[in-house]
């Protein structure tokens, strides 16, 4: 009897290996955490999946790792936000088709009592140098994500090299970094979407927003099938077409989080 | 933030609501862990028996190595197998990265040292006469080993339970090799990690409570088998 | 008569312990009593004959048995330890172990188990838990477990050590009757008179040597 039950269970479990949806074609998308965590993809993907009878497998990682997965051919499409790295990716021949998808912006966050006095200025570079000279904690992603890359560019633009006890390289996702900055009552740079998700749980306030240097464009790239023959190039191209079509762009513009529009199309 | 009590309530609501996403994550956790344990048992039990019964030079080194492997961080196992399964790696052709198969492989590697070590300890603790007795009654070495397993079956069961607990509760391998794909490789643990990164602490913690409930049910079931 | 077992030029040593058997031939359907002081090597010799220990030199042959490899020979030769180990489960499970290995049908298993248990004086013990038996009962179950598959050669290490004095005569009577069932028996004992009572031929180990079969055993 026990034997029967255990054999039954084994068969039952093995069946799970081959889920019923296995018939559909699968497209692999490596993307940044911001698009997945904000819930944008949950709005954007189902219409495409239904229209093309396929399933999009989303692997949400930092921009740096998403591009690495593209380089090694482990995914078919990457959706990232770090223009300089995207250009290098294309120049090195890893991608075959890159399109501007949408944009939003980064926000510089800080504690409400603003110990560094960064609220006094509307100039981003000045705010950054005030934070650095006041030695109030700044939590950096430190993980080569798109946000991290941008943060480093901002320090560079302000003519600073961030180092010292106040500069904390967390090496974690955006959400965790916002929590850390909140607990340490420090500053951090975040994408708008993740900030909106955390707005109600943390005290942090927007210090600077709307500066053109905080412009955050997202690009979508198809991995080069010439380099990786297994890339599903037809499905990937359809996906890119869908995202940049009127329907796709409409969905992006219509996506709201905490009653705020999160992503804008060009 | 009074989220501990909130989580408890949310967990109850979550279990009662039969949320499809949660069900899928529970299911993925359960079947990958179960398949991994079945494979780990077929490899780990013989390894434990072999190390426990045979005397050869280098045996102590192997045992020390096995003990060390128990301390291997899941992320390291994930990294090694990532290198194997990636399109650039030796098994890249199979396209297994970010599939349940890759997760099962990682969890199997994770569980084998645990199962083997527990079995080894059982064999060392078992009555030394079992093998000889079985052989005098006409058993081959293989049949005698099977009899030994029957004699120490409680210990072997404990080994499998320990391995199962480790595998179903780990997040490193599932995240790296599975990729946390919704509806495919999202397990209880990677779902918790995701909810945490979203700032949904209450939901994350309630998922954790669901995971504990699932583990409790599995252990009750195994316990029932053991009582027989 | 063709011998059942032949031992030739056997030499075994481990540490200070040494055992030599120049030549030994046992004929079928007889009872042999192996005597010798403590530590003389009685158990070792029995284990060599049971193919559990391989001596450094010499050969053990079974001219009376259908030839085969050691695994096949072990199906016909069995050995019961001085303090035997019983498997978990019932007495019946223990007796069935050897029968299953020999592919005996289920009905035949039940018949033989019941018969053998009554031979060793444990009628009706089938469903008793093996681990809950007394020493003497354990000893007899172990004997029954060996007898049940009708071995050609039965090797017993101090079989009466754990049996109380009152039960000994019955046990010795059983040993004496075994050749009638076609079983050759070798048992080790400290008690020369026990050997006489069973009508066994004496084998004796002295100074690490098995003495020639015709020499008188005095110790």
pLDDT tens digits, one per residue of B185-200:
999 999 998 888 777 7
| φ, ψ at B173 (rounded to 5°) | -65, -45
Distance CA(A206)–CA(A209), nearest Å, equals 7
Distance from CA of B141 to the nearest CA of C (A): 9
pLDDT at A122: 78
Long-range contacts of B59-64 (CB under 8 A, 24+ apart): B63/B120
CA neighbours closer than 13 Å in the CB half-sphere of residue B149: 19
Distance CA(C147)–CA(A84), nearest Å, equals 85
Confidence label for C211 from pLDDT (cuts 50, 70 and 90): confident
pLDDT at C73: 85
Instruction: Give yes or no for A117 touching B (CB within 8 A).
Output: no
**pLDDT digits over C25-55, tens only?**
888 999 999 988 888 889 999 999 998 888 9
Distance from CA of B136 to the nearest CA of C (A): 5
Instruction: Note which residues in 71-130 of chain B have CB less than 8 A from chain C.
Output: 127, 129-130
Is the pLDDT confidence value at C157 over 60? Answer: yes
pLDDT at A66: 93
**pLDDT digits over B42-64, tens only?**
999 999 999 999 889 999 999 99
Mean pLDDT rounded to a whole number for chain C: 88
Given a contact cutoff of 8 angstroms between Cβ atoms, the answer to whether C46 and C33 are in contact is no
Contact C85 B130 (CB under 8 A): yes
pLDDT at C218: 55
Q: Which of A13, A33, A74 sits opposite B86 (nearest CB)?
A: A74
Beta strands, E only, A133-232: 138-140, 167-169, 187-191, 205-208, 215-223
Mutate to test the interface with B, among C97, C144, C152 (most CBs of B within 10 A): C97
Instruction: Give yes or no for A55 touching B (CB within 8 A).
Output: yes
Distance CA(A239)–CA(A216), nearest Å, equals 22
Contacts of B169 (CB under 8 A, 6+ apart): B189, B211, B215
**Contacts B194 to A, Cβ<8 Å:** 37, 60
Contact B137 C146 (CB under 8 A): yes
Is the pLDDT confidence value at B218 over 70? Answer: yes
Give the residue from chain A lying closest to B225, CA to CA.
A2
ipTM of this complex = 0.87
Q: Helix, strand, or coil here: C195?
A: helix
pLDDT tens for chain A, 266 residues long, are 555 566 655 555 555 554 444 557 899 999 988 888 888 999 999 999 999 999 999 999 888 899 999 999 999 999 999 999 999 999 999 999 999 999 989 999 999 988 888 887 778 888 999 999 998 999 999 888 889 999 999 999 889 899 888 999 988 888 889 989 998 899 999 988 888 888 888 899 988 877 888 999 999 999 999 999 999 999 999 999 999 999 999 999 999 887 888 899 87
Given a contact cutoff of 8 angstroms between Cβ atoms, the answer to whether C185 and C175 are in contact is yes
pLDDT at C170: 84
Percent of the residues in chain A that have a pLDDT greater than 90, as a whole number: 52
Distance CA(B214)–CA(B17), nearest Å, equals 15
**Contacts B134 to C, Cβ<8 Å:** 97
Give the residue from chain B lying closest to C156, CA to CA.
B136
Mutate to test the interface with A, among B6, B30, B199 (most CBs of A within 10 A): B199
Confidence label for C108 from pLDDT (cuts 50, 70 and 90): very high
Is the pLDDT confidence value at B16 over 70? Answer: yes
Distance CA(A100)–CA(A236), nearest Å, equals 15
B-side interface with A, Cβ within 8 Å? Answer: 1, 27-28, 30-31, 34-35, 38, 86-88, 92, 95, 97-98, 100-101, 179-184, 194, 196-199, 201, 225, 228
Distance CA(B181)–CA(A74), nearest Å, equals 14
Given a contact cutoff of 8 angstroms between Cβ atoms, the answer to whether B32 and B166 are in contact is no
Which of B150, B151, B156 shows the shortest CA–CA distance to B118?
B156
Q: Helix, strand, or coil here: C155?
A: strand
Q: What is the pTM of this model?
A: 0.81
Question: Based on the number of CB atoms within 10 Å of its own CB, is A183 exposed (0-12), middle (13-18) or buried (19 or more)?
Answer: exposed
N-to-C CA span, chain B: 47
Q: Which tokens go with A221?
A: 């790239």
pLDDT at A119: 80
Contact C149 B136 (CB under 8 A): no
Distance from CA of A266 to the nearest CA of B (A): 27
Contact C85 B140 (CB under 8 A): no
pLDDT at A21: 45
């Amino acid at each position: 009897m026990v034997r029967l039950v255990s054999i039954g269970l084994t068969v039952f479990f093995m069946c799970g290996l081959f889920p019923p949806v296995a018939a559909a074609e699968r497209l692999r998308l490596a993307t940044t955490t911001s698009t997945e965590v904000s819930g944008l993809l949950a709005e954007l993907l189902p219409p495409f999946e239904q229209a093309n009878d396929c399933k999009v497998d989303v692997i949400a990682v930092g921009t740096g790792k998403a591009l690495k997965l593209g380089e090694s051919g482990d995914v078919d499409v990457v959706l990232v936000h770090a223009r300089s790295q995207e250009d290098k990716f294309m120049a090195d021949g890893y991608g075959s088709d890159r399109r501007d998808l949408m944009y939003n912006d980064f926000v510089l966050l800080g504690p409400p009592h603003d110990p560094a006095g960064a609220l006094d200025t509307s100039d981003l570079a000045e705010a950054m140098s005030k934070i650095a000279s006041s030695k109030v904690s700044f939590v950096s992603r430190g993980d080569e994500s798109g946000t991290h890359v941008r943060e480093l560019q901002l320090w560079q633009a302000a003519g600073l090299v961030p180092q010292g006890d106040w500069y904390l390289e967390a090496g974690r996702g955006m959400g965790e970094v916002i929590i850390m900055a909140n607990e340490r009552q420090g500053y951090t740079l975040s994408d708008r979407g993740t900030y909106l998700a955390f707005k109600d749980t943390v005290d942090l306030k927007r210090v600077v927003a709307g500066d053109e240097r905080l412009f955050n464009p997202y690009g979508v790239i198809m991995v080069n099938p010439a380099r990786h023959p297994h890339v599903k190039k037809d499905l990937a191209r359809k996906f890119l077409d869908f995202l940049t079509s009127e329907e796709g762009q409409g969905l992006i513009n219509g996506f709201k989080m905490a009653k705020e529009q999160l992503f804008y199309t060009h | 933030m009074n989220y501990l009590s909130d989580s408890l309530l949310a967990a109850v609501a979550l279990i009662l609501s039969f949320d499809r996403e949660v069900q899928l994550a529970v299911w993925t956790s359960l079947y990958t862990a179960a398949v991994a344990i079945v494979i780990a048992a077929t490899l780990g039990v013989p390894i434990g028996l072999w190390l426990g019964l045979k005397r050869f030079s280098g045996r102590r080194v192997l045992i020390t190595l096995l003990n060390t492997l128990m301390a291997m961080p899941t992320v390291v196992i994930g990294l090694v197998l990532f290198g194997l399964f990636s399109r650039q790696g030796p098994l890249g052709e199979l396209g297994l990265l970010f599939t349940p198969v890759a997760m099962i492989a990682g969890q199997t590697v994770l569980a084998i040292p645990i199962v083997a070590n527990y079995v080894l300890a059982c064999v060392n603790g078992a009555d030394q006469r079992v093998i000889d007795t079985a052989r005098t009654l006409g058993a081959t070495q293989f049949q005698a080993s099977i009899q030994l397993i029957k004699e120490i079956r409680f210990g072997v069961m404990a080994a499998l339970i320990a391995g199962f607990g480790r595998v179903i509760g780990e997040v490193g391998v599932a995240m790296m090799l599975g990729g946390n794909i919704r509806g495919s490789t999202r397990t209880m643990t990677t779902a918790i990690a995701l909810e945490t990164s979203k700032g949904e602490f209450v939901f994350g913690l309630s998922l954790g409570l669901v995971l504990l409930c699932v583990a409790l049910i599995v252990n009750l079931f195994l316990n029932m088998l053991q009582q027989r | 008569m063709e011998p059942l077992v032949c031992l030739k030029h056997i030499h075994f040593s481990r540490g200070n312990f040494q055992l030599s058997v120049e030549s030994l031939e046992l004929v079928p359907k007889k009872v042999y009593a192996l005597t010798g002081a403590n530590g003389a090597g009685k158990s070792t010799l029995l284990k060599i004959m049971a193919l559990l220990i391989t001596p450094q030199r010499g050969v053990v042959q079974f001219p009376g048995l259908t030839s085969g490899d050691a695994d096949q020979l072990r199906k016909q030769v069995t050995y019961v330890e001085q303090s035997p180990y019983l498997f978990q489960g019932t007495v019946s499970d223990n007796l069935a172990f050897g029968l299953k290995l020999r592919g005996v049908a289920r009905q035949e298993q039940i018949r033989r188990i019941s018969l053998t248990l009554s031979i060793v004086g444990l009628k009706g013990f089938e469903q008793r838990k093996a681990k809950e038996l007394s020493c003497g009962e354990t000893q007899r179950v172990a004997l029954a477990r060996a007898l049940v598959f009708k071995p050609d050669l039965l090797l017993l290490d101090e079989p009466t050590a754990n049996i109380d004095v009152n039960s000994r005569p019955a046990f010795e009577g059983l040993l004496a009757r075994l050749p009638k069932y076609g079983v050759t028996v070798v048992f080790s004992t400290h008690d020369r008179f026990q050997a006489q009572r069973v009508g066994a031929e004496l084998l004796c180990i002295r100074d690490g040597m098995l003495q020639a079969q015709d020499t008188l055993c005095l110790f």
